[in-house]
Structure 1
Amino acid sequence: MAQPATVYRASVQLSDLDRNHYVDLSATLARHPSETAERLVARLLAFALFHSDELTFTKGVSAGAEPDLWAKEPDGRIALWIEVGLPDPERLIKASRHAGRVILLACGPNRWRWESAHLPALGRMKNLSVYALEQEFLQELVTGLGRSFQWTLTITEGTLYLNSGTTSIETPLLKLCGEDAR
Structure 2
Amino acid sequence: MALPATIYRVAIDLADLDRGCYARLETTAARHPSETAERLVTRLLAYALCHHEELGFTKGICAGDEPDLWSREADGRVREWIEVGLPDAERLRKASRHAGRVVLVASGSGLRRWLEQHQAKLASVSNLTILALDADFIGRLAASLERAVNWSLTVTEGTLYLTRGTETLEAPLHLIQGER
Q: What is the TM-score of this pair, normalised by structure 2?
A: 0.97
Partner of 1:126: 126
Q: Which amino acid aligns with 1:145?
A: L
Residues 43-90 of structure 1: per-residue CA shift (max 9 Å, x gap): 010010010001011000001110000011111111100000011111
Secondary structure in 1 matching 2:27: strand
Structure 1: how far apart are the matches of 2:41 and 2:176? 20
Tell me the equivalent position of 1:7.
7
Structure 1 residue 143, shift from structure 2 partner? 2.3
Q: 5+ residue gaps in structure 2?
A: none
What pairs up with 1:27-46 in 2 under 5 angstroms? 27-46=27-46
Q: CA deviation at 1:5?
A: 1.0
Matched residues in 2 for 1:62 and 1:149: separation? Answer: 22
1:11-51 Cα shifts (integer Å, max 9, x gaps): 00001111111100012111111111011011010010010
Rounded Cα–Cα distance in structure 2 between residues aligned with 1:92 and 1:19: 24
- Determine the C-alpha separation between the residues in 2 that align with 1:5 and 1:109: 25
SS in 1 for 2:51: coil
**Which secondary structure does the structure 2 equivalent of 1:116 belong to?**
helix
In the TM superposition, what are the counterparts of 1:52-63 in structure 2 within 5 Å?
52-63=52-63
State the alpha-carbon separation in 1 of the partners of residues 125 and 43 from structure 2.
23
Aligned positions of 1:82-161 closer than 5 A: 82-161=82-161
Percent identity reads: 57
Q: Deviations over 1:72-120 (max 9, x none)?
A: 1111111100000011111111101100110100111111111111111
> Partners in 1 of 2:139 and 2:123 — Cα distance?
27
Runs (4+) off by over 4 Å: none
AA at the equivalent of 1:13: D
Give distance in 1, aligned partners of 2:7 and 2:101. 29
